[in-house]
Amino acid sequence: MPRLRTPTLGVVLALVSLAGLILFVRGNSPSFVPTDLPPSERQLVEFLLLLPLAALICCVIRTVIGLHTFGTFAPALLGLSFREVQSLAGVFILIVVLSVGWMTRRGLARLNLLQVSRSAVLLSVAVMLLLAYVLLSNHRGNPVSGAIPFLPLVIVTALVERFWTMEEEDGTSAALRTMGATMLTSLTVFLFVRWEFIVRSMVDNPELLGFVVAAQITLGRYTGFRLVELYRFRDLAKDQP
Amino acid sequence: MWWPLTAHRLRSRGVFGMNARNVGGILRHNPRALFPIVDDKLKLIEICQRIGVPTPAVYAVFERHGDLRHLREVLDAHPDCVIKPARGSSGRGIVLLTGRLPAGYLRNNGSTSTINELRRHLSDLLSGMYSLGGRPDRAIIQQRLTTHPTLERISYRGTPDVRVLVYRGEPAMAMLRLPTLESNGRANLHQGGVGAGVDIGTGRTTRAVWRGRSIDRHPDTGEPLAKRTIPDWPAILLAAKTIARATGLGYVGVDVVPDATSGAMVLEANARPGLAIQTANGVGLGKVLERIDAMMESGSRVA
Ligand SMILES: Nc1ncnc2c1ncn2[C@@H]1O[C@H](COP(=O)(O)OP(=O)(O)OP(=O)(O)O)[C@@H](O)[C@H]1O
């Protein structure tokens, strides 16, 4: 296997030892993230700290497992946003927005609009739905807090647009498969970022980001097979005639 | 239990996975700055015209939505044509027209499309619906190539082409791509086309795959796929090598059509050629590339 000679290993080692050193020197002294942050700031800091981790999970799923998703980091943002909304409600809203968006998209196809306007209309429809949901749950006495803005509507809209394109071009089953992989990836991200231990570790020790980046770099040099390729190339592994 | 074994076997047979292709093939031999030359089919067509490699005639190029009001004139002048996105991939967005009818335009699959349907398709295309990364795109209206008689019985309603993988200037592997009912006139495997491995030395097909599995006969015509001789083989190899040299890419897939009347015609080149060519040939790419590397090192060039 031909490889480029690059200082990858050096960079990874430097990152790991730097992060490890900070971790060690800091010992039990307080984290870089103050504990008395106002809740909204804290939410933002958590979101920011978890985003690289979510991206790393997407990298693993793509390069080691080989699942193809709509957009590289869309599942990272989706998974993080599930955390903001209560889990089930988030998934429910997502599914409703996606399916209504998809139906709207079918209708819009007849109107012969330019693509940008079409996406804008989809976005507006998604907003209306979400607004209805927020107002409704408020009315029933359980407000959804300031969480909703984190649901990346633009991403959901892009998902609908891409799903539709793929359905037209490669058939419904291919589109459903990719959507399934996207959801599975988002769910995996969600399972990680809702894990209190992980959130605590990141907030208490932001220097862990060094390890995350090191892992991302290492994955970038992975040249082995993806799990799905073992299935794809199974005929080539058979005893040859 | 089975997959560590599979991985081991695949590795020992030199089979490339996507990651290996990306690092060992593309990152290593294809400088990023050269990608625009092949990512835009119009640029490649220009190169072909400049260095005298045959390529289908371009009847018109649409850039702005407003220009689409001229679509009817263009199509009426050339009702036998192909509409394709300049920056498309995997056959997406390609429409083949075969003639004019009172109700609209006849498509290769037997259906008809009205001028308004085609205009909408082109409008989506210009908006970037089929382009790499969703960027705004241009539409090419191009001469439609036709199937060479020797390949007619293993093609279904479309034009087959040959994908030649050129590594460091040498043809490394080739695959004949055949359209099927499912692929709708396009020969891309991704769309359900058949891929047949080709012996580089003789230009004869060896075996074939469809939807990732081996097959012996064309799924629609029922004709055997192996031991077919590809017409114009030396010209196809020469065109592929010339294009590889002109683009400067060290790991490039060149698509060439053996046209019924004009001979070998270059359709496009691809800086990220897929891995199906391995399955079609039943051979791992790693071994073949190593052989070419060794040949380059020893300085002996085989023409
Ligand atoms: N001028 C043409 N005449 C006849 N058929 C054509 C023509 N251009 C394209 N096709 C058909 O469409 C298929 C795909 O064409 P082309 O290779 O240009 O597209 P692509 O989207 O870039 O695909 P890929 O990137 O997978 O090679 C060809 O295999 C061929 O069957």
Does B157 contact ligand 1 (Cβ within 6 A)?
Answer: no
Cβ(B249)–Cβ(B270) under 8 Å? Answer: no
Does B247 contact ligand 1 (Cβ within 6 A)?
Answer: no
For residue A2, give the nearest of B9, B24, B212 by CB distance: B24
Q: Which residue in chain A is spatially nearest to B286 when comparing CA positions?
A: A1
Q: Please give the residue that has the higher pLDDT: either B111 or A97.
A: B111
Is B152 found in the same domain as B74?
A: no
Q: Which residue in chain B is spatially nearest to A170 when comparing CA positions?
A: B191
Nearest CA to CA, how far is A12 from chain B (Å)? Answer: 18
Is B257 found in the same domain as B132?
A: no
Task: List CB contacts of A125: < 8 A, sequence separation 6 or more.
Answer: A100, A101, A104
Nearest CA to CA, how far is A75 from chain B (Å)? Answer: 17
Percentage of residues of chain A with pLDDT beyond 90: 27
Q: If you measure from the C-alpha of residue A113 to the centroid of ligand 1, how many angstroms do you get, rounded to a whole number?
A: 27
Q: Please give the residue that has the higher pLDDT: either A150 or B74.
A: B74
Q: If you measure from the C-alpha of residue B267 to the centroid of ligand 1, how many angstroms do you get, rounded to a whole number?
A: 7
- Inside any domain, residue B247: yes
Does B274 contact ligand 1 (Cβ within 6 A)?
Answer: no
Nearest CA to CA, how far is A34 from chain B (Å)? Answer: 40
Provide the edge-to-edge strand list for the sheet that holds B263-270: B213-215, B204-210, B194-199, B170-178, B161-167, B251-259, B263-270
Is B185 found in the same domain as B104?
A: no
Kindly indicate the confidence band of residue A5, based on its pLDDT and cuts at 50, 70 and 90: low
Q: Look at chain B and report how many structural domains it folds into.
A: 2
Nearest CA to CA, how far is A107 from chain B (Å)? Answer: 14
Cβ(A70)–Cβ(A163) under 8 Å? Answer: yes
Q: How far apart are CA B26 and CA B21, in angstroms?
A: 6
Task: Indicate the burial class of A141 (C-beta count within 10 angstroms; 0-12, 13-18, 19 or more).
Answer: exposed
Is B112 found in the same domain as B204?
A: no
Q: What is the pTM of this model?
A: 0.84
- Inside any domain, residue B181: yes
Torsion, Cα of A201, A204, A205, A211 (10° steps): 20
Which pLDDT score, from 0 to 100, does residue A90 have?
66
- Chain A positions touching B277 (Cβ under 8 A) are none
Kindly indicate the confidence band of residue A89, based on its pLDDT and cuts at 50, 70 and 90: low
- Which single residue is written with the structure tokens 């939807």? B211
Instruction: Compute and round to an integer the Cα radius of gyration of chain B.
Output: 19
Which of these ranges, A46-55, A126-135, A207-216, B248-257, has the smallest mean pLDDT?
A: A126-135
Which pLDDT score, from 0 to 100, does residue B227 have?
93
Task: List CB contacts of A80: < 8 A, sequence separation 6 or more.
Answer: A47, A50, A51, A54, A150, A189, A190, A193
Is B275 found in the same domain as B217?
A: yes
Which pLDDT score, from 0 to 100, does residue A135 have?
84
Does B269 contact ligand 1 (Cβ within 6 A)?
Answer: no
Q: If you measure from the C-alpha of residue B188 to the centroid of ligand 1, how many angstroms do you get, rounded to a whole number?
A: 7
Q: Which residue in chain A is spatially nearest to B28 when comparing CA positions?
A: A4
Of B120, B143, B166, which one is at a domain's C-terminal end? B143
- Inside any domain, residue B180: yes
Mutational test site, ligand 1, from B109, B140, B144, B255, max ligand atoms within 8 Å of CB = B255
For residue B127, give the nearest of A3, A4, A115 by CB distance: A115
Mutational test site, ligand 1, from B58, B59, B267, max ligand atoms within 8 Å of CB = B267
Of B143, B161, B181, which one is at a domain's C-terminal end? B143
- Inside any domain, residue B90: yes
Is B150 found in the same domain as B128?
A: no
Cβ(B251)–Cβ(B167) under 8 Å? Answer: yes
ipTM over 0.85: no
CATH code of B21's domain: 3.30.470.20
Is B186 found in the same domain as B39?
A: yes
- Which single residue is written with the structure tokens 């330019």? A114
Region label for A210, one of left (φ > 0), alpha (ψ between -120 and 50) or beta (otherwise): alpha
* Minimum CA distance residue for ligand 1 atom 25: B89
Quick check: B278 contacting A, CB < 8 Å? yes
Kindly indicate the confidence band of residue A151, based on its pLDDT and cuts at 50, 70 and 90: low
- Inside any domain, residue B150: yes
Label the pairing between strands B81-85 and B58-62.
Answer: unpaired
Is B283 found in the same domain as B186?
A: yes
Q: How far apart are CA B128 and CA B88, in angstroms?
A: 9
- Inside any domain, residue B106: yes
Residues 200-219 of B with CB under 8 A from A: 209, 212-214
Which pLDDT score, from 0 to 100, does residue A87 have?
53
Which pLDDT score, from 0 to 100, does residue A1 have?
39
Chain A interface residues (partner B, CB cutoff 8 A): 1-4, 63, 66, 112, 114-116, 165, 169-170, 221-227, 229-230, 232-237, 240
Of B118, B143, B168, which one is at a domain's C-terminal end? B143
Is B291 found in the same domain as B170?
A: yes
Kindly indicate the confidence band of residue A2, based on its pLDDT and cuts at 50, 70 and 90: very low
In sequence order, the β-bridge partners of residue B85 are B139
Kindly indicate the confidence band of residue A143, based on its pLDDT and cuts at 50, 70 and 90: low
Which pLDDT score, from 0 to 100, does residue B239 have?
97
Tokens for B26? Answer: 């593309």
The ranges of chain B with pLDDT < 70 are: 1, 300-303
Which pLDDT score, from 0 to 100, does residue A86 have?
61
What's the CA angle centered on A215, arms A209 and A216, to 5 degrees? 90
Domain encompassing residue B210 = 7-54+146-298
Torsion, Cα of A170, A172, A174, A177 (10° steps): 160
- Which single residue is written with the structure tokens 């005929």? A235
- Inside any domain, residue B169: yes
In the A/B pair of chains, how many CB contacts fall below 8 A? Answer: 89
Is B177 found in the same domain as B78?
A: no
Instruction: Compute and round to an integer the Cα radius of gyration of chain A.
Output: 21
Cβ(B252)–Cβ(B273) under 8 Å? Answer: yes
| Nearest atom in ligand 1 to B85's CA | 21
Cβ(B196)–Cβ(B208) under 8 Å? Answer: yes
- Inside any domain, residue B2: no
Is B102 found in the same domain as B39?
A: no
Q: How far apart are CA B81 and CA B78, in angstroms?
A: 6
Is B38 found in the same domain as B106?
A: no
